[in-house]
Amino acid sequence: MSAPKVTTPASSAPVSLAETKAFLEIAADDTSFDSLLLELIAEKTKEAEDLMARALVTRTLKWYLDDWNANADRIIEIPVAPVQSSGFSIEYYNSENVLTTWSSAEYELDVISEPARIRPKSGYSYPEVYDRLNAIAITFKAGKDSPTEIESDIKGAIKVLIANRFRFREDESIGAQVTDKEAAFKVLNGYRLRYFA
C-alpha cells in the first residue's frame, strides 16, 4: 500500500518566515538568511508532518490502492489527518477495466474520526475492481485552512527544530540542543496519527 501523494501542495507554510525570524531574533529587515530559512521551514515542516502523519495546511492528495483492503468491519482508514469532506472522491477501474467514479450515495465518509474512515452504506458493498495495480484512487483534501488554526505547540516545536538546525548548521551533532529537540519531538509525537488499518 503506497502513501498518499500530494497533487496540489499547501499554499503556505505552517510557520512563516517572519515568525521564524522573530523566534531566532533576526531583524525583520535582515534578509541575509531568508533563503536558508525558507529551506529549513520546508525541511522541518515535512519532518514534523511525516512524524505525525498529518497535513498541517490544506493540500490535495491522491491515495492509490490495488484493492479495497478493508478491515473486518468493512472500514478503510485514511493514513493522513485531518481529512476534509469537500473535494473527496473515489475512482476505480471496474470489472471491465473502465475508470469509474464511485457514487458518494453508496459510501459513508467519516472525517470526525482520526484517522478518517470510509465504508459502504447499508445495503451496498465495495465495487468489484479490475485486477491491476493502482486500481483505486482516492482523492482528498487534508490539513487546516489557515496556519492560524494550527495548534500553537506544534508550531512551536517546528520553530525549535528550525532554530536548532539553523544555529548548529555546520555541526548538528553538537549536543547542547539535544534536550530542546527531544522536547519538540515529544510534542509532535503526541499528535501522531494512530493508524491501525
| pLDDT, tens digit, 9 for 90 and up, residues 186-196 | 999 999 998 65
Q: Which three cell numbers stand for residue 4?
A: 498518499
Task: Write the pLDDT tens digit of every residue in 32-69.
Answer: 999 999 999 999 999 999 999 999 999 999 999 999 99
Answer whether residue 176 shows pLDDT above 90: no
- Block residue for cell numbers 553538537: 174
Q: From CA 138, how far away is CA 63, in angstroms rounded?
A: 5
pTM of the predicted model as reported, rounded to 2 decimal places: 0.88
Q: Which of 102, 110, 96 is nearest to 138 (CA)?
A: 102
Tell me the average pLDDT across 10-36.
Answer: 97
How many Cβ atoms from other residues are within 10 Å of residue 150's Cβ?
17
Whole-number Å distance between alpha carbons of 144 and 82: 7
Contacts of 65 (CB under 8 A, 6+ apart): 1, 134, 135, 136, 137, 138
User: Which residues, listed in sequence order, are joined to residue 140 by a DSSP beta bridge?
Assistant: 61
